[in-house]
Amino acid sequence: MPAPELNEEMDDVAPEVVATRVDITVGPEDEGLRLDRVLARHLPEFSRTRLQALIAEGRVQRAGQPIAGGSAKAVAGESYSVEVPEPEDATPAAQDIALNIVYEDDHLIVVDKPAGMVVHPAPGSPDGTLVNALLFHCGASLSGIGGVRRPGIVHRLDKDTSGLIVVAKNDRAHKRLAAQFADHGRTGPLERAYLAFIWGAPDLPSGTVDAPLARHPVARERIAVRTGGRFAITHWQRLATYADTLGRPIASLVECQLETGRTHQIRVHMAHIGHPLLGDTVYGVGQRTRASRLPDTTRQALDGLGRQALHAARLGFEHPATGDFMAFESPLPADLARLQETLAAGG
């Protein structure tokens, strides 16, 4: 059973990278289209995101010169060369990276992930990930059922979301934990709770966001509420409200529990109801305007955050071998604790 969908070189000398060059000539049917779209039509095996990355790396050239960006309009008759590097080794390397281990036994390991750590290798993050660290710590025992690049992973957290994550150490544990996460606690014991600092103060003390999510139609790296998307449900409860310099509500602390596990779910859902997360530059419109109403010390704490104010604070599940319910809690990390302190003090 596959894991449910879900939320940096060891050598001093880099190995030689072998690349393949592909030449493309713009046809009349491509006249006036964005160049990255034209390249995607001629190279269907590559996503536009991958082609945009090759452009950014200077691997797409016209007349021997790298092009500036994929938004330029294509002109019929122009020729481009695309340098495609050979794929990297799919097997992640074990790396000696410190982990905050909350619990470990022969079947699983629970880690309190810091903000800034990617869960598993992906384009743009080939190493320095949680998986690299776990391979070093756990060795050959780490389950491979989740795929070569994400062994043992049954759920994930965004790079800049801190908090609790459980990883399976063998196939049996992986299958049983994956089943619990696929059910999202609807009929089983799984419990996940996140703490989020949001802009504004919801009128109600609690609520539910039921809005389908899918890839943004234009900005493919983003998620959006879209008709026909995958169903997604977030339950939230307001825990505290904070005031601005004039005593007006400016921010709140909410606890969010997921009934589904979609990418960026909490961030998109809270923005959808008008309360984006503090520090979320992707989904939080008007961050600077809102921040101008904060006391100086709070604004400094927010400026120093450098990420969305989201923390996976509570995790509970049935142990895959014993059947016992296990529950773990993680306190706010230092950056979010500082933000909370200054919000509560009103500056």
Place of tokens 């990355």: 53
User: What local confidence, expressed as pLDDT, does residue 347 receive?
Assistant: 54
Query: How sure is the predictor about 270, in pLDDT bands with cuts at 50, 70 and 90?
Result: very high
* 254-277: average pLDDT: 95
**Cα diameter, the chain:** 67
| Residue 288 φ/ψ, nearest 5 degrees | -65, -40
In the predicted structure, residue 204 carries a pLDDT above the cut 60: yes
Query: How sure is the predictor about 245, in pLDDT bands with cuts at 50, 70 and 90?
Result: confident
Q: Is the pTM of this model over 0.85?
A: no
User: What local confidence, expressed as pLDDT, does residue 89 receive?
Assistant: 58
Helices marked H in 171-272? 171-183, 265-272
In the predicted structure, residue 140 carries a pLDDT above the cut 80: no
Strands 101-104 and 79-85 come out as: unpaired
For residue 21, which amino acid is it? R
Percent of the chain residues topping a pLDDT of 90: 57
Tokens representing 102 are 């909350």
Strand intervals (E) in 226-335: 233-243, 249-258, 310-318, 325-329
Query: How sure is the predictor about 90, in pLDDT bands with cuts at 50, 70 and 90?
Result: low
Tokens representing 311 are 């923390």
Higher pLDDT among residues 136 and 121, named by residue:
136
State how far the alpha carbon of 254 is from the alpha carbons of 113, 257, 307, 310, in Å. 20, 10, 17, 10
Q: Which of 36, 112, 158, 160 is catalytic?
A: 158
Residues in a beta bridge with 329: 314
Query: How sure is the predictor about 45, in pLDDT bands with cuts at 50, 70 and 90?
Result: low
DSSP structure class, residue 277: B
State how far the alpha carbon of 1 is from the alpha carbons of 144, 175, 179, 321, in Å. 12, 6, 8, 17
* 308-320: average pLDDT: 97
Instruction: Check if 158 is active-site.
Output: yes
Q: Which of 71-85, 112-126, 170-184, 257-271 has the lowest mean pLDDT?
A: 71-85
How much is the mean pLDDT over the chain?
87
